Amino acid sequence: MSSINKLGLTFTLFLLLSSEIFFQPTSTVMAADQSAAKNISLKEIMQGLLKDTHMITEGIFLENYPMIEKGAKQIARHPQVPMETRKKLLKGLGSEMGQFKGFDMKVHNTAVSIAQAAKDNNMEAILSNYHQLIDGCQYCHDSFKQRAVEIFKK
Ligand code: HEC
């Protein structure tokens, strides 16, 4: 192995390890706060996301930045989807699971950006990310909500 390759490998390993440590959770729906209550259903998690989205919306209209930050952080750190549910989704969605996870990441990342913008009292950045957040929820629902419900029925 050339030294350049070795360096690349070391760097990749470093990224993998450091992301485990620093960037948890890495995604919104599929992975999240390990300390959260176990076995809360995907549906219940979604109902929580709706409440958190309400909190952000209310915070925007009241210009209450801590409220916005709280709602956004709760979205970014919502409870973990049960393993059983993740397995069912993977089986049912197959190769489209990547797209599902992509929407999940989009929502997670925009929630993180909203929390940061709220900390900075930056309403412009909050709003542009807020629109992306809602798009992220909506795109996933459009593509997968009905299908997921069918998959869970089986
Ligand atoms: C990665 C895909 C995905 C993303 C992103 C996503 N959802 Fe969902 N959502 C689902 C699926 C799948 C269901 C159906 C769950 C079920 O009925 O078991 C659902 C259902 C819901 C429901 C209906 C719950 C009920 O009581 O029937 C609400 C409300 C909801 N989502 C809100 C949100 C909000 C708000 C966001 C963004 C902050 C969001 N979702 C982001 C996949 C997603």
Tell me how far the alpha carbon of residue 7 lies from the centroid of ligand 1, in angstroms. 42
Residue with tokens 């299908």: 147
Q: What is the pLDDT of residues 36-70, one digit of tens each?
A: 456 799 999 999 999 999 999 999 999 999 999 99
C-alpha dihedral sign at 154, 139, 129, 17:
positive
Low-confidence stretches of the chain (pLDDT < 50) are 1, 10-26, 31-36
Give the model's pLDDT for residue 63.
Answer: 98
**Domains present along the chain, CATH in parentheses:** 24-153 (1.20.120.10)
Give the model's pLDDT for residue 3.
Answer: 52
DSSP single-letter state for residue 1: -
Give the model's pLDDT for residue 16.
Answer: 41
Residue nearest to atom 6 of ligand 1 (CA): 137
Count of beta carbons in the 10 Å neighbourhood of residue 153: 6
Give the model's pLDDT for residue 80.
Answer: 85
What residues does ligand 1 touch, defined as CB less than 6 Å away?
A: 29, 42-43, 46-47, 49-50, 53, 75, 100, 103-104, 107, 133, 136-137, 140-141, 144-145, 148-149, 152
Q: pTM for this one? A: 0.82
Give the model's pLDDT for residue 118.
Answer: 98
